[in-house]
Structure 1
Amino acid sequence: MTRRRSIFASRLVNTASDGEQPHVLDDLRRAILDGDEPPGTTIPIDAVAKVFGVSQNPVRESLKILIGEGLVEHRPHIGYSVAKLTFEEFRELYDVRQALEASALRAAVQHATPEDDRLVGEIHEAMATATRTHDERAYHAESRRFHMALIVPSGMQRLLRMYESAWNITEPARPMARIDDVGRTQFYDDHDRMVEAFVARDADLLLAESSQHYAHLREAIAVFADDPDVFLTG
């Protein structure tokens, strides 16, 4: 536990410029979403406060907000830590994401522009590059950008916020970084067909390809369902 305690504080980045108030909440959230600290990692208030040069109060307030976002949990007499889910809870968030994404895709196809097509294609190729170079961090980040780029044209702001929130809760587990090359190739093929349907403005085909992609995602995450470093067990 001591090792994780020191690592969390040492990896925190204070992004505030000289003379600017520390961005305690944003920087803590970013550290968790980057996935460098696995689920269950202790968040030491005193060490975090020192990184930002603040008292413990703003750190506690920020952690309370992150609890509300599902990224942090608190246990009496133990303290704060990066939230750790059961595999069933984790898989349920994929169901939530699929339902929200399906709702947004049909509207996105109706409102998408050639610029949206360009962005989706650009991100798709960035994922291909990450796969070829075995860059797990880049692949993880581009996967999220790809799905967001497909649904942002929908203009459904409340839905987009709910979708992003559901995605955020799964980020500490870094699921896409745990997928092997065979799985990534399969996802690339899924995405390739999704891009074609998106550009063709074929909503029915896009939803069908998205459904198939989520089936493949569920198969992939099931492989590490019993990993105690990722999920709560027992």
Structure 2
Amino acid sequence: MTTPAPRPRLKTRFKPARLKLSSDHSKRPLERLSLHDQLVAKVREMIVDGELAAGAPLPERMLCETFGVSRTPLRETFKILAAEGLIELRPHRTPVVTPIDAREIAEIFDVMVGLDAAAGRAAAARATAGDIARLDAMHAELVTLHRAAERAAYFRLNQQIHTEITRLAGNSVLFNMWSTLHTNVFRARAVANYDARRWDESIREHEAFMALLRAGDAAGFAQALADHTRKTGDSVLQMLESQA
């Protein structure tokens, strides 16, 4: 039996020049990505800050006109925010901002206490003098905002401080888990809208754990940070229950 001769190998080579892409065309996907990121960030911010209230409908046509975008990027934005738990997508119905579930918030805070303890311990062990100086500067600004009763700006900076502490832990898995859960926690805090007494307590707790960080007490810093998160959770849940 005669063995068939092997087929000749086809030599193909990719030639970018044949695509005939101009420099302008090659930049467009980056521009679309930038617009998409901005849209996600803006709608997320409106939900977290309470500008789009829990349970509020999200009509596509109105939002497209508001942001000057087509339905395609808006629907992609909805998918991302739905994955984060901020939006409910309903078949053949208008999406809505996810209602705040007090039981779920309580469970999230239970997890956040543990995450903050772990993040605080690692961050204190890894933080350089420059890191501590940067957090000190942020804390000083936080105190100033508290004295001026700039509540919205205070909450924003407060979030940035906690984010920076978690980032300093140097654990990407912990940071991603914390960031996802914190989005829902921050929204609940905005809706609950702390009373003045809790706000005063909170700034004193910040003062306490920053002092421990400066002193290099990693265990004390981690415990104080976790206690602060637990007390914050208790306050938010009290507010949500009173509003219900």
- Give the counterpart letter for 2:194 in structure 1: I
Give the corresponding residue for 1:109.
Answer: 124
Alignment of 1:119-158 (within 5 A): 119-158=134-173
- What RMSD over aligned residues (CA atoms) do the two structures have, in Å? 2.2
Q: Give the letter aligned to residue 69 of structure 2.
A: V
What percentage of aligned pairs have identical amino acids?
27
Answer with 181-190 or 165-174: which moved more. Answer: 165-174
Distance 2:111 2:81 in 1: 20
1:5-26 Cα deviation digits (max 9, x unpaired): xxxxxxxxxxxxxxx5433333
Paired residue for 2:180? 165
Give yes or no for contact 2:115–2:178 (8 Å, CA) kept in 1: yes
8 Å contact 2:100–2:188 — kept in the other structure? no
Moved more, 118-127 or 21-30: 21-30
Q: 1:176 to 1:187 in 2, by over 3 A?
A: farther
SS at the partner of 2:240?
Answer: coil
Q: Which residue of 2 aligns with 1:6?
A: none
78, 83, 87: which one aligns with 1:63:
78
For this pair of structures, how many residues does the alignment match? 211
Aligned partners of 2:145 and 2:153 also within 8 Å? yes
The answer to which of 82-91 and 53-62 deviates more is 53-62
Give the corresponding residue for 1:12: none
Q: CA deviation at 1:60?
A: 1.4
User: What is the identity, as a one-letter code, of the residue corresponding to 1:57?
Assistant: T
Counterparts of 2:99 and 2:191 in 1: how far apart (Å)?
17
The equivalences for 1:68-87 within 5 A come to: 68-87=83-102
Q: Which has the larger radius of gyration?
A: 2
Give the whole-Å Cα distance in 2 for the aligned partners of 1:85 and 1:176. 9
Residue of 230, 234, 243 corresponding to 1:215: 230
Bigger mean CA offset, 171-180 vs 29-38: 171-180
Alignment partner of 2:115 out of 97, 100, 105: 100
Provide Cα deviations, 1:8-48, integer angstroms capped at 9, x if missing partner.
xxxxxxxxxxxx54333333223323332221222111111
In 1, Cα distance between equivalents of 2:174 and 2:129 = 23
Question: Where does the alignment leave 5 or more consecutive residues of structure 1 unmatched?
Answer: 1-19
8 Å contact from structure 2 (residues 124, 216) kept in 1: yes
User: Quick check: 2:192–2:240 contact (8 Å CA) kept in 1?
Assistant: no
Please name the residue that 2:49 is paired with.
34
Q: Normalising by the residue count of structure 2, what TM-score does the alignment of the two structures yield? A: 0.78
